[in-house]
Amino acid sequence: MKRPLLWLTTLGLAVAVSVAGTIYFFSATKGRRTLVVSTTTSLYDTGLLEVVKERFEEENPIELYFISVGSGLAIQHATRGDADLVLVHAPSLERDFLEEGYGVCRKVIAYNFFVIVGPDADPLRIWKLNVSEALTRIVKMGRDGNATWVSRGDESGTHIKEMELWADAGFNWTQLKEERWFLNTGSGMGYTLLVTNQKAAYTLADMGTYLQYSRNNRISLKVLIEADGRLLNVYSVIAVNPDKVSRANFEDAIVFIKFLTSIEGQNLIESYRKKDYGSSLFSPAVNLLKTDSNPTIAQWIRDYAFINGTECPPEYRGRHPELY
């Protein structure tokens, strides 16, 4: 979809313009600019980006506007010129975005872990199994009529990770989704968790959204498999290349990237809801990668999310070597 349309009446004439254009028009009269960020639902639904927005706008003459969708659709918005920057968690799609010339100045900003969640009673007894063992058991029990799996199926970063995990376990997601025990919501993480809870089923979730829904008593699902290197979830920010998309607000995208990777931005990520939940929903990645303060997780990030051995190959750094 293109950006939503708003109608502006000027001197009796109705003129259709894009949301970004409309915001920019009104913001410009106040001396403020607009930056459109296409982002994954897991970052937006937890409320983190609202906190980031408030602090960033206090310090910069730039208004942030978020389009919240799955990572695949977020990148599609950017390639069509509907966003100036993406915040996503799908390294394979991010590589394509860079290599096709649409993305520049990629920075890894945060991480957490995906988790496999299910009913508290865990009728399939997958707790303490490794990921592939658990998925294999779910398939067997599902085909016997004793289990239900719920998939997002929406080309999001979570969906891509799920397909990778099924492949590692020896299964094909495209074939599995045709089986009766396998449900496909085609929707975001929050709704998928609600369906999983209603069906007393199992699913893959990002830890941030799971904690948000669990601590708010919207679901009674329990984390059954976690803290496995294969469940690593890495978030990156990428500016849209103005040489490819001429209307991209590249300069303000760089300002936002520098904010997210600054000490202030990284502290915001780490502290968000930490007191409420007893742990961070998202962990900052910038200093971790610089200092190897946790060598195991730092290496997991490099192995999973780096491209040709780096978070952003030199040819895609958009004349901003200071970011690296």
Identity of residue 199: K
Q: What is the dihedral of CA 73, 257, 308, 235, to 10 degrees?
A: -50
What structural domains and CATH numbers belong to the chain? 5-112+233-323 (3.40.190.10), 114-231 (3.40.190.10)
Digitized pLDDT (tens) for each residue of the chain, 324 residues in all = 433 333 222 222 222 223 333 333 334 436 789 999 999 988 998 999 999 999 999 999 999 999 999 999 999 999 999 999 999 999 999 999 999 999 999 999 999 999 999 999 999 999 989 999 999 999 999 999 999 999 999 999 999 999 999 999 999 999 999 999 999 999 999 999 999 999 999 999 999 999 999 988 999 999 999 978 999 999 999 999 999 999 999 999 999 999 999 999 999 999 999 998 888 999 999 999 999 999 999 999 999 999 999 999 999 999 999 999
Give the pLDDT confidence score for residue 42 in this predicted structure.
86
Q: Could you say which DSSP state residue 31 is in?
A: T
Give the pLDDT confidence score for residue 277 in this predicted structure.
86
Give the pLDDT confidence score for residue 228 in this predicted structure.
84
Q: The tokens of 83 are what?
A: 């966003």
Q: The tokens of 182 are what?
A: 């396998």
Side-chain half-sphere exposure of 16, counting CA atoms within 13 A: 4
Identity of residue 134: A
Q: The tokens of 262 are what?
A: 């600054």
In the chain, which ranges are continuous DSSP H helix?
A: 19-29, 41-45, 48-59, 71-79, 91-99, 131-143, 157-168, 173-176, 189-199, 207-215, 250-261, 263-271, 274-277, 286-291, 295-305
- 46/256 Cα distance (integer angstroms): 20
Residue found under tokens 């975001």: 188
Beta-bridge mates of residue 85: 37, 239
CB of 272 closer than 8 Å to CB of 280: yes
Cα-Cα-Cα-Cα dihedral sign, residues 161, 167, 172, 177: negative
Please give the model's pTM, rounded to 2 decimal places.
0.87
Identity of residue 65: Y
